[in-house]
Structure 1
Amino acid sequence: MIRKIYITIIMGLGIFLNAQTGKVGIKTDKPTETLDVNGKTYTNSLYLRNPGEPTMTGGSFLATSENALQLYDPNLESSGLFNYLKLTLTGVSGTGIADYDTKIDANNFLVILHNYSFKLNDGTTNVMLDYGDNGINDNKQGSPDVTAFKSNGTWHIKAKFSDSRIIATNTSTPSRTYNNFTVDLYLMAYRRLITKQNITDVNANLGGTDGSTQTISKPSGF
């Protein structure tokens, strides 16, 4: 019993001495920070005095604007941190998709459209482009305009081709169908759970040059 008391006193004295130096260690007798935990920690919330500020030891931490790291529970959140979404739109006309509202909150998610495909609603891929609507294939291919963009607080999708229409065709006689297409869109939605700030959009005027001599300001937050 006396031995146990002695060990307890020694351990307490070690913590006290470390505390006197401004550093406390748990499961370590040589703490390197104010609080050095050599093991797992569990907490309901963690408050940071200066969120987003790098420490003198080279560390960098990102927190929410509430000065706290909120506990992430997949059972309580509406979505995960990284969400893969395949969006299939059928019955698309030859003009393509101009503005489709995904209803995904732009304040809580960042949506990236990383791939797409155009095909007929029956699953075949006899699809091509045609310039104009004069019944003649002019062999002019428009530029793809397939992207995700923010509008009125949600993410929107457009998937079309400039100066061209989508047509259904085959190797013999083009059927020139304009309203029976399927567009598959492959999206990644990243949840804005731990961020320092939303980086503002960058606009730069190259003044008609190739940009090699321009000095562009560094984007904020980097």
Structure 2
Amino acid sequence: MKRKIYITIIMCLGIFLNAQKGKVGVNTANPTETLDVNGKTYTNSLYLRNPGEPTMTGGSFLATSQNALQLYDPALESSGLFNYLKLTLTGVPGTGITDYDTKIDATNFLVILHNYSFKLNDGNTSVMLDYGDNGVNDNKQGSPDVVAFKSNGTWHIRARFTDSRMIATNTSTPSRTYNNFTVDLYLMAYRRLIEKQNINDINDDLGGNDGSTKTINKPSGF
């Protein structure tokens, strides 16, 4: 019992002495921050001032939608931290999908489109690209334009090919089909809890090289 009392007294003295230097240490004689706790902590509430802003010395980024750490409770949430979705759209025209609203909230989720496939509605994968509308292979390959983007507060999908159309490869009856395709989209929806917001886009010129010797500055927030 006496030993516990001595330890408590020593800790209190350490806190008092360190506090005079502008830094408080718990279970440490040499605190490196304003409050340095060497051990487990317990609190009912934690307030974050200016979340998402780095310190003057380049400290850690910590951001939430509120000035607090958000508690994730699986029993109360209808979705998880990491959600995998397969979105299948049928009856897609040959021009593809320009703007499909997934209705997924862009404020609370980050959506990543990590894979996709184009096929006929009957499951046939005999699909090719046609530069024009003449039903003839013009030997011109369109560039894929398949992305998830934010619009009016929700995540939207664009899945098409620039300067070309999707067509069925059969040349006999029935004729080539331009409006009966299936697009499978594989999405990951991450729930926003703690993350840096509004990181700028990155653009870099490789100058015709393969990029193996290219060095760029570290992206902001990483």
Q: Distance in 2 between the 1:45 and 1:4 partners?
A: 28
- Map of 1:109 onto structure 2: 109
For residue 129 of structure 1, report the CA deviation from its aligned partner: 1.4
Contact 1:44/1:71, CA 8 A, preserved across alignment = no
SS in 2 for 1:45: coil
Q: Distance in 2 between the 1:5 and 1:163 partners?
A: 79
For residue 6 of structure 1, report the CA deviation from its aligned partner: 4.7
Contact 1:131/1:165, CA 8 A, preserved across alignment = yes
- Tell me the alpha carbon deviations over residues 127-178 of structure 1, each in whole angstroms, 9 at most, x when there is no partner: 11123333433333332222222222211112122332212225x8585123
Q: Distance in 1 between the 2:42 and 2:4 partners?
A: 28
State the one-letter code of the partner of 2:178.
Y
For residue 182 of structure 1, report the CA deviation from its aligned partner: 1.6
Task: Tell whether 2:27 aligns with 1:54.
Answer: no
Q: Which runs of 5+ in 2 are unaligned?
A: 208-218
CA RMSD of aligned residues (A): 3.6
Return closer, same or farther for 1:19/1:131 CA change in 2, 3 Å cut-off: closer
**Identity across aligned pairs (percent)?**
84
Q: Which runs of 5+ in 1 are unaligned?
A: 204-209, 211-218
Return closer, same or farther for 1:39/1:9 CA change in 2, 3 Å cut-off: closer
- Map of 2:40 onto structure 1: 40
Return closer, same or farther for 1:29/1:123 CA change in 2, 3 Å cut-off: same
SS in 1 for 2:177: coil
For residue 117 of structure 1, report the CA deviation from its aligned partner: 0.9
For residue 64 of structure 1, report the CA deviation from its aligned partner: 3.0
Contact 1:45/1:71, CA 8 A, preserved across alignment = no
Q: Distance in 2 between the 1:10 and 1:45 partners?
A: 27
Q: Distance in 2 between the 1:151 and 1:24 partners?
A: 47
State the one-letter code of the partner of 2:29.
D
- Tell me the alpha carbon deviations over residues 59-115 of structure 1, each in whole angstroms, 9 at most, x when there is no partner: 323233533333333443444444332211123222221221100112233323232
- Map of 1:23 onto structure 2: 23
Which structure 2 residues correspond to residues 114-193 of structure 1 after superposition, within 5 A? 114-170=114-170, 173=172, 175=174, 176-193=176-193
SS in 1 for 2:61: coil
- Map of 2:215 onto structure 1: none
Return closer, same or farther for 1:4/1:80 CA change in 2, 3 Å cut-off: closer
For residue 183 of structure 1, report the CA deviation from its aligned partner: 0.8
Contact 2:61/2:221, CA 8 A, preserved across alignment = no
State the one-letter code of the partner of 2:106.
A
Q: Distance in 2 between the 1:221 and 1:8 partners?
A: 40
Return closer, same or farther for 1:108/1:174 CA change in 2, 3 Å cut-off: farther
For residue 5 of structure 1, report the CA deviation from its aligned partner: 4.5
Return closer, same or farther for 1:22/1:80 CA change in 2, 3 Å cut-off: same
State the one-letter code of the partner of 2:20.
Q
Q: Distance in 2 between the 1:146 and 1:12 partners?
A: 61
SS in 2 for 1:18: helix
- Map of 1:89 onto structure 2: 89
State the one-letter code of the partner of 2:183.
V
State the one-letter code of the partner of 2:149.
F
For residue 41 of structure 1, report the CA deviation from its aligned partner: 2.4
Contact 1:168/1:174, CA 8 A, preserved across alignment = no
SS in 1 for 2:14: helix
SS in 1 for 2:16: helix
